[in-house]
Amino acid sequence: MGFTIGIREMRTGARRRARAAATGGTEVAEYTGLWGWAVVPGARAADGVCSCGDPGCAAPGAHPLEFAREVPAGATLDAAARAWAEVPGASMMLPVGRSFDVLDVAEGAGRRALVRMERMGLPLGPVSVTPQGRAQFFVAPGAAAG
């Protein structure tokens, strides 16, 4: 099973940290409640150094935190917020292959596909764009095999 990584903006200051924690809990609750997906707290990277504490980390900021618990699919807003408060600053990681798969395409093709799907009135799931110029469509498991 792979993971796809969602990154939230890092904020500073007590008020901003509290707001970021509340927002993170809300975002986590959206994935667990609305979409029915589990969410895993993940490591972050700053200047190539991973937040996991391992100076020789092979995947800085691109792996789940071993000590953090998964927020299960269907978690309520309160449960998601409590769980996320235990891992301040963690990135949101979504386990791929259980509740959804990811179709990875070139960004230009992905943008054109989105426009066409919207014009056709098709329901859209989450879509992300990576810094490497890729678009990732989150779809039902096995949808790509069709």
CA distance 103 to 4: 11
The total of structural domains in the chain comes to 2
Q: pLDDT for 4-61, tens place per residue?
A: 444 333 333 333 333 344 456 777 877 777 778 888 888 888 887 888 889 899 888 8
- Angle of the 77-85 helix axis to the 14-29 helix axis, nearest 10: 130
Same-domain status, 66 and 112: no
* Nearest Cα residue to 137 out of 127, 129, 145: 127
What's this model's pTM, rounded to 2 decimal places? Answer: 0.63
Cβ atoms < 10 Å from Cβ of 142: 9
Same-domain status, 139 and 69: no
Q: Which residues are 95's β-sheet partners?
A: 3
Same-domain status, 65 and 41: yes
Same-domain status, 107 and 91: no
Domain span holding position 41: 3-95
CA distance 93 to 61: 10
